[in-house]
Homo-oligomer: A and B are copies of this chain.
Amino acid sequence: MARSPLTEPRKHAAQKRSRATVDALIEATARILVTEGFEKASTNRIAETAGVSIGSLYQYFPGKEALVAAVIDRHHQEVMQVVRTALAEVASQPLEKAVRKLVAVAIEAHRIDPKLHRVLTEQIPRTGRLENVEAFNREALALFRNYLEQHRDEVRVADLDLAAFLCATAIEAVAHTAVLYRSDELTDAAFAALVDEATRLVVGYLK
Protein backbone atom coordinates (compact mmCIF):
# COMPACT_ATOMS: atom_id res chain seq x y z
CA MET A 1 0.00 0.00 0.00
CA ALA A 2 1.29 3.42 -0.96
CA ARG A 3 2.05 5.77 1.87
CA SER A 4 1.63 9.46 1.73
CA PRO A 5 5.01 11.09 1.61
CA LEU A 6 3.58 13.66 3.93
CA THR A 7 2.92 11.21 6.71
CA GLU A 8 5.82 8.91 6.20
CA PRO A 9 8.46 11.13 7.83
CA ARG A 10 6.18 11.90 10.72
CA LYS A 11 5.53 8.27 11.29
CA HIS A 12 9.20 7.66 11.14
CA ALA A 13 9.82 10.40 13.59
CA ALA A 14 7.15 8.96 15.81
CA GLN A 15 8.76 5.56 15.65
CA LYS A 16 12.09 7.04 16.53
CA ARG A 17 10.51 8.84 19.44
CA SER A 18 8.84 5.62 20.59
CA ARG A 19 12.10 3.76 20.41
CA ALA A 20 13.77 6.47 22.45
CA THR A 21 11.03 6.29 25.06
CA VAL A 22 11.30 2.53 25.31
CA ASP A 23 15.06 2.73 25.61
CA ALA A 24 14.85 5.40 28.25
CA LEU A 25 12.48 3.24 30.25
CA ILE A 26 14.66 0.14 30.06
CA GLU A 27 17.73 2.16 30.89
CA ALA A 28 15.98 3.79 33.85
CA THR A 29 14.85 0.42 35.11
CA ALA A 30 18.38 -0.97 34.90
CA ARG A 31 19.82 2.07 36.63
CA ILE A 32 17.36 1.90 39.49
CA LEU A 33 17.80 -1.83 39.89
CA VAL A 34 21.52 -1.29 40.25
CA THR A 35 21.47 1.75 42.50
CA GLU A 36 18.42 1.08 44.63
CA GLY A 37 17.53 -2.55 44.23
CA PHE A 38 14.47 -4.36 43.05
CA GLU A 39 12.20 -3.33 45.89
CA LYS A 40 12.67 0.36 45.22
CA ALA A 41 12.06 0.00 41.51
CA SER A 42 8.44 1.11 41.34
CA THR A 43 6.84 1.95 38.05
CA ASN A 44 6.27 5.55 39.05
CA ARG A 45 9.92 5.88 39.97
CA ILE A 46 11.03 4.30 36.72
CA ALA A 47 8.83 6.60 34.68
CA GLU A 48 10.08 9.64 36.53
CA THR A 49 13.72 8.63 36.16
CA ALA A 50 13.14 8.01 32.47
CA GLY A 51 11.64 11.46 32.15
CA VAL A 52 8.43 9.94 30.87
CA SER A 53 4.91 10.03 32.24
CA ILE A 54 3.55 6.98 34.01
CA GLY A 55 0.88 6.83 31.36
CA SER A 56 3.47 6.48 28.64
CA LEU A 57 5.19 3.71 30.53
CA TYR A 58 2.00 1.68 30.39
CA GLN A 59 1.66 2.57 26.75
CA TYR A 60 4.79 0.62 26.01
CA PHE A 61 4.97 -1.99 28.74
CA PRO A 62 2.13 -3.99 30.23
CA GLY A 63 3.60 -3.76 33.71
CA LYS A 64 6.61 -3.81 35.91
CA GLU A 65 7.52 -7.39 35.10
CA ALA A 66 7.78 -6.59 31.45
CA LEU A 67 10.25 -3.84 32.18
CA VAL A 68 12.44 -6.05 34.27
CA ALA A 69 12.16 -8.76 31.64
CA ALA A 70 13.31 -6.28 29.03
CA VAL A 71 16.32 -5.41 31.15
CA ILE A 72 17.12 -9.09 31.56
CA ASP A 73 16.74 -9.68 27.84
CA ARG A 74 18.93 -6.76 26.96
CA HIS A 75 21.61 -7.92 29.35
CA HIS A 76 21.37 -11.48 28.04
CA GLN A 77 21.71 -10.28 24.48
CA GLU A 78 24.91 -8.50 25.40
CA VAL A 79 26.27 -11.48 27.23
CA MET A 80 25.30 -13.93 24.52
CA GLN A 81 26.83 -11.70 21.93
CA VAL A 82 30.16 -12.01 23.68
CA VAL A 83 29.75 -15.73 24.18
CA ARG A 84 28.67 -16.43 20.60
CA THR A 85 31.49 -14.40 19.18
CA ALA A 86 34.01 -16.17 21.35
CA LEU A 87 32.74 -19.61 20.40
CA ALA A 88 32.81 -18.73 16.73
CA GLU A 89 36.40 -17.52 17.04
CA VAL A 90 37.37 -20.60 18.91
CA ALA A 91 35.57 -23.11 16.74
CA SER A 92 38.65 -24.31 14.94
CA GLN A 93 41.14 -23.94 17.72
CA PRO A 94 42.56 -26.78 19.79
CA LEU A 95 41.08 -27.66 23.15
CA GLU A 96 43.37 -25.88 25.52
CA LYS A 97 43.38 -22.64 23.64
CA ALA A 98 39.64 -22.82 23.27
CA VAL A 99 38.97 -23.50 26.92
CA ARG A 100 41.32 -20.76 28.01
CA LYS A 101 39.47 -18.36 25.78
CA LEU A 102 36.12 -19.50 27.11
CA VAL A 103 37.17 -19.02 30.71
CA ALA A 104 38.41 -15.55 29.89
CA VAL A 105 35.19 -14.81 28.08
CA ALA A 106 33.08 -16.02 30.98
CA ILE A 107 34.88 -13.56 33.22
CA GLU A 108 34.58 -10.84 30.63
CA ALA A 109 30.86 -11.50 30.27
CA HIS A 110 30.34 -11.14 34.00
CA ARG A 111 32.23 -7.89 33.87
CA ILE A 112 29.95 -6.28 31.28
CA ASP A 113 27.82 -4.92 34.07
CA PRO A 114 28.62 -6.79 37.26
CA LYS A 115 26.26 -4.86 39.49
CA LEU A 116 23.36 -5.37 37.15
CA HIS A 117 24.27 -9.00 36.73
CA ARG A 118 24.27 -9.41 40.46
CA VAL A 119 20.93 -7.74 40.95
CA LEU A 120 19.43 -9.81 38.18
CA THR A 121 20.89 -12.95 39.72
CA GLU A 122 20.05 -12.22 43.30
CA GLN A 123 16.97 -10.22 43.77
CA ILE A 124 14.67 -10.61 40.86
CA PRO A 125 11.74 -12.81 41.71
CA ARG A 126 11.96 -15.15 38.76
CA THR A 127 8.30 -14.85 38.05
CA GLY A 128 7.72 -16.43 34.74
CA ARG A 129 10.99 -15.20 33.32
CA LEU A 130 12.84 -18.10 34.81
CA GLU A 131 12.34 -19.92 31.55
CA ASN A 132 14.24 -17.18 29.82
CA VAL A 133 17.16 -17.45 32.18
CA GLU A 134 17.10 -21.17 31.76
CA ALA A 135 16.85 -20.86 28.01
CA PHE A 136 19.82 -18.58 28.06
CA ASN A 137 21.85 -21.02 30.12
CA ARG A 138 20.86 -23.87 27.87
CA GLU A 139 21.86 -21.97 24.77
CA ALA A 140 25.31 -21.34 26.18
CA LEU A 141 25.55 -24.98 27.17
CA ALA A 142 24.48 -26.13 23.72
CA LEU A 143 27.08 -23.93 22.04
CA PHE A 144 29.76 -25.39 24.23
CA ARG A 145 28.54 -28.94 23.71
CA ASN A 146 28.62 -28.29 20.01
CA TYR A 147 32.24 -27.24 20.20
CA LEU A 148 33.10 -30.42 22.05
CA GLU A 149 31.29 -32.46 19.44
CA GLN A 150 33.31 -30.81 16.70
CA HIS A 151 36.47 -31.71 18.63
CA ARG A 152 35.36 -35.20 19.65
CA ASP A 153 38.77 -36.62 18.87
CA GLU A 154 40.59 -34.37 21.30
CA VAL A 155 38.17 -35.21 24.10
CA ARG A 156 38.36 -38.31 26.30
CA VAL A 157 35.04 -38.51 28.02
CA ALA A 158 32.30 -41.07 27.85
CA ASP A 159 29.28 -38.81 28.00
CA LEU A 160 29.56 -35.60 26.06
CA ASP A 161 26.40 -34.09 27.51
CA LEU A 162 27.53 -34.72 31.01
CA ALA A 163 31.01 -33.40 30.31
CA ALA A 164 29.64 -30.24 28.72
CA PHE A 165 27.32 -29.71 31.67
CA LEU A 166 30.10 -30.19 34.20
CA CYS A 167 32.56 -27.91 32.46
CA ALA A 168 30.12 -25.17 31.53
CA THR A 169 28.66 -25.13 35.03
CA ALA A 170 32.09 -25.01 36.65
CA ILE A 171 33.39 -22.26 34.39
CA GLU A 172 30.28 -20.16 34.84
CA ALA A 173 30.30 -20.56 38.61
CA VAL A 174 33.99 -19.74 38.95
CA ALA A 175 33.66 -16.63 36.80
CA HIS A 176 30.46 -15.60 38.57
CA THR A 177 31.80 -15.98 42.09
CA ALA A 178 35.17 -14.47 41.32
CA VAL A 179 33.82 -11.38 39.60
CA LEU A 180 30.83 -10.73 41.81
CA TYR A 181 32.11 -11.70 45.25
CA ARG A 182 35.88 -11.72 45.10
CA SER A 183 36.74 -8.83 42.79
CA ASP A 184 38.02 -6.79 45.69
CA GLU A 185 40.54 -9.38 46.70
CA LEU A 186 41.66 -10.33 43.24
CA THR A 187 44.46 -8.48 41.48
CA ASP A 188 44.98 -8.75 37.74
CA ALA A 189 47.71 -11.26 38.38
CA ALA A 190 45.36 -13.28 40.54
CA PHE A 191 42.79 -13.24 37.78
CA ALA A 192 45.41 -14.47 35.34
CA ALA A 193 46.25 -17.30 37.73
CA LEU A 194 42.58 -18.05 38.05
CA VAL A 195 42.27 -18.39 34.27
CA ASP A 196 45.30 -20.65 34.18
CA GLU A 197 44.03 -22.92 36.86
CA ALA A 198 40.45 -23.05 35.67
CA THR A 199 41.76 -23.97 32.26
CA ARG A 200 43.84 -26.71 33.80
CA LEU A 201 40.83 -27.95 35.74
CA VAL A 202 38.70 -28.27 32.63
CA VAL A 203 41.33 -29.38 30.14
CA GLY A 204 42.74 -31.93 32.56
CA TYR A 205 39.30 -33.40 32.82
CA LEU A 206 38.43 -33.37 29.14
CA LYS A 207 41.64 -34.89 27.87
Which A positions have Cβ atoms within 8 angstroms of B?
37-39, 122-127, 134, 157, 159, 162-163, 165-167, 169-170, 172-174, 177-178, 181-182, 190, 193-194, 197-198, 200-202, 204-205
Contacts and interface: CB of A to CB of B under 8 A. Distances in A.
Contacts of A166: 174, 194, 197-198, 201
B126 A162 contact: no
A124 B37 CA distance: 11
How many copies of this chain?
A: 4
A64 B194 CA distance: 39
Chain A interface SS verdict (over half): helix
A201 B170 CA distance: 10
Contacts of A124: 122-123
Contacts of A193: 159, 162
Of A134, A162, A201, A202, the most chain B CB neighbours within 10 A belong to: A201
